[in-house]
Amino acid sequence: MTDNNVTEIKEKKGLNFIEQFVDNDLKAGKNGGRLQTRFPPEPNGYLHIGHAKAICMDFGIANKFGGICNLRMDDTNPEKEDLEYVNAIKEDIQWLGFHWNNIYYASDYFQQLWDFAVRLIKEGKAYVDEQSSEEIARQKGTPTQAGTTSPYRNRPIEENLQLFEKMNSGEIPEGAMVLRAKIDMANPNMHFRDPVIYRIINKEHHRTGSKWKAYPMYDFAHGQSDYFEGVTHSICTLEFVPHRPLYDYFIDLLKEGKDLEDNRPRQFEFNRLNLTYTVMSKRKLLALVQEKLVDGWDDPRMPTICGLRRRGYSPEAVRKFIDMIGYTKFDALNDYAMLEAAAREDLNARALRVSAVLNPVKLIITNYPEGQTEEMEAVNNPENEADGTHTITFSRELWMERDDFMEEAPKKFFRMVPGKEVRLKNAYIVKCTGCKKALDGTVEEIYCEYDPTSKSGMEGANRKVKGTLHWVSVAHSLKAEVRLYDRLFSVENPSADERDFRELLNPESLKVLDECYIEKYVMENMENRYLQFQRIGYFTFDKISTPYRLVFNKTVGLKDSWAQKK
Ligand code: ATP
Ligand code: MG
């Protein structure tokens, strides 16, 4: 075996199952050596982390093999679609780091699809049905039992043509008629039981305006759009497996007589992403937004791309997560903790370390001169020396975390305890001398004395002190609001629960701390989206943050605290 072969086998192992198909097709010279994929969202909502999985596949495979990937809006239902969504989809794909070759719209093919439908009618392969959708559903039968034939199935061709025209001219009310493909009411594949291919929608389309009243169903547009565009590998999720023969059926009819070489788009399916403690259905996400159960599509608790962005995720973290879970042929439920682990790994490498006190109590260093200050050196990122250092101002009065003090502490509590020494990060070793309490027992102030010879680098700094605490100077810090987030839902798999998903929301998914203090250095870094509040976790400026009102979102903690809580 030559070295070359070894590399090839190694690379092959690194390919997922769809990439292997593509690799083989290209090597076999199929489609004239072309590779063309597309990402086909319906612009009826914002993209979520599940879409990111599809995006990484569709764009990633084109990048990997030197093919092209287009963006196509499957905009066949003006009832639910909107320009707002079209724009948000574009923004999110770009943010994830991908670029489409062309942008197409299924609505660009409305005329072609219409003409094809007319042709089907003329060939006796489609008919106008006047039954209600409920009635049609009732007649579908079951996979083992044939459906019932519609009384309109054998309507004369001429009449079908006239009625189809009327469906599109506004003369027929919504829901009164549909066009159905005449295929096979006994087919074991339910999608072949005379599927509805056109319905009436009396609503302006965001691109075609009021030109059309009859709109193609998704299943009559999706596969054919792929064909019109010359898609070679039509990649989608597993629920489309049973639709594949129907798409092939329509394309065979479209191609009739010409172009008999098999250059149809070939469909490949992979497993959808499902995540614990959240939902991925656009219908449910939209309901959360419309019913104001969350703060918009980009609420930091939402599984949307814009939500993750506002939460402080980087595009690299999202892509890393998609890489971690991989692509298979089996549906599964992925642990939300894996997404957080990806964020943690990514942020550890890039976040700027700053000091912030979220639950403050005052610490007074009684032997430090009043009015004196010192600039202490703080490392920006221990993972990357090139990020350098900044200074943090030290003074007699500091804020420290309330939880870092105990008057009577168990042995293993290596933080602030009367009579014991502890190190203040980047500064001195101090010994706690006591505290002042309110009548109800709340600690109001903590007192300590510092050892002036214990600054890092000095000789007194060398003695062993177990705990190191973060702090900020009272006079040199800024007040901030900090928003802490937990799982949006309190059950692991809300989609599998019988209760309404609204009842399953975690009432404690948002906690707002409105009196936090943070070192001033953050103000010079409002452009930096990735911060670590030392000893606490990763944070980012919220979009509403201004120099006059600082608001931070917690991205993720330093450790997986959820695993312990469970
Ligand atoms: P809806 O929730 O309205 O049914 P959808 O989630 O299927 O919609 P589309 O806009 O139709 O959303 O999806 C665009 C593409 O993203 C499709 O190819 C679809 O297979 C893929 N996709 C959607 N959800 C997921 C998911 N959870 N995991 C992986 N891919 C997904
Ligand atoms: Mg869909």
The model's pLDDT over 56-110, given as tens digits with 9 standing for 90+, comes to: 999 999 999 999 999 999 999 999 999 999 999 999 999 999 999 999 999 999 9
Phi, psi of 320 (to 5 degrees): -60, -45
| Ligand 1 center–CA 60 separation, angstroms | 17
Among the bound ligands, name the one nearest to the CA of residue 47: 1
From residue 388, how far is each of 206, 353, 391, 519 by CA, in Å?
50, 11, 11, 17
3-state secondary structure 291-325: CCCCCCCCCCCCCEHHHHHHHCCCHHHHHHHHHHH
Ligand 1 pocket, 273 CB below 6 A?
yes
Beta bridge partners of 234: 267
User: How sure is the predictor about 5, in pLDDT bands with cuts at 50, 70 and 90?
Assistant: very low
Q: If you ran DSSP here, which 8-state letter would residue 543 be given?
A: T
Read off the pLDDT band of 264 (50, 70, 90): confident
Q: Which of 82, 226, 237 to mutate to test the pocket of ligand 1 (most atoms within 8 A of CB)?
A: 237
Query: Which atom of ligand 1 is found nearest the CA of 58?
Result: 18
pLDDT tens track for 140-191 = 999 899 999 999 999 999 999 999 999 999 999 999 999 999 999 999 999 9
Structure tokens at 344: 């943690």
For the chain, give the mean pLDDT.
94
Q: What is the pLDDT of residue 183?
A: 98
Q: Which residues are annotated as catalytic?
A: 42, 272, 282
C-alpha span between 264 and 256 (Å, rounded) = 12
Confidence at residue 7, expressed as pLDDT on a 0 to 100 scale: 41
237 lines ligand 1 (CB under 6 A): yes
* Residue 445: strand pairing partners: 362, 436
Give the helix/strand (H/E) hosting 484: strand 477-485
Give the Cα separation of 545 and 254 in Å (integer): 55
Kindly provide the b/e burial profile for residues 471-491, where b requires at least 16 CB atoms within 10 angstroms of the residue's own CB: bbbbebbbebbbbbbbbbbeb
Percent of the chain residues past pLDDT 70, beyond the cut: 96
Confidence of residue 564 (pLDDT cuts 50, 70, 90): low
User: Which of 238-247, 500-509, 520-529 has the lowest average pLDDT?
Assistant: 520-529
pTM of the model: 0.94
In contact, 181 and 126? CB cutoff 8 Å: yes
- Ligand closest to 89 (CA) is 1
Q: Is 504 exposed, middle or buried (0-12, 13-18, 19+ CB in 10 A)?
A: middle
What per-residue confidence (pLDDT) applies to 13?
64
- Does the C-beta of 51 come closer than 6 Å to ligand 1? yes
Tell how far the Cα of 41 is from the centroid of ligand 1, in angstroms.
7
The atom of ligand 1 lying closest to the CA of 53 is: 29
CA of 50 to the centre of ligand 2 (A): 11
Helix (H, G, I), strand (E, B) or coil at 334: strand
CA–centroid distance, 52 to ligand 1, in Å, is: 9
Q: How many CB atoms lie within 10 A of CB 454?
A: 21
Ligand 2 centroid vs 42 CA: distance in angstroms? 7
**Region 200-215 average pLDDT:** 96
Give nearest CA residue, ligand 1 atom 14. Answer: 41
Q: How far is CA 44 from CA 85, 286, 299, 394, 529, in A?
A: 6, 9, 18, 53, 29
* Ligand 1 close to Cβ of residue 272 (< 6 A): yes
The reported pLDDT for the residue numbered 513 is 98
In the chain, what is the greatest distance between 2 CA atoms, to the nearest angstrom?
Answer: 101
CA distance to 42, 43, 200, 239, per residue, from 80 (Å): 9, 8, 14, 21
Ligand 1 site, residue 50, Cβ cutoff 6 A: yes
Band of the pLDDT at 562, cuts 50, 70, 90? low
215 phi/psi in degrees, rounded to 5: -120, 140
Residue-wise pLDDT for 363-399, tens only, equals 999 999 999 999 999 999 999 999 999 999 999 999 9
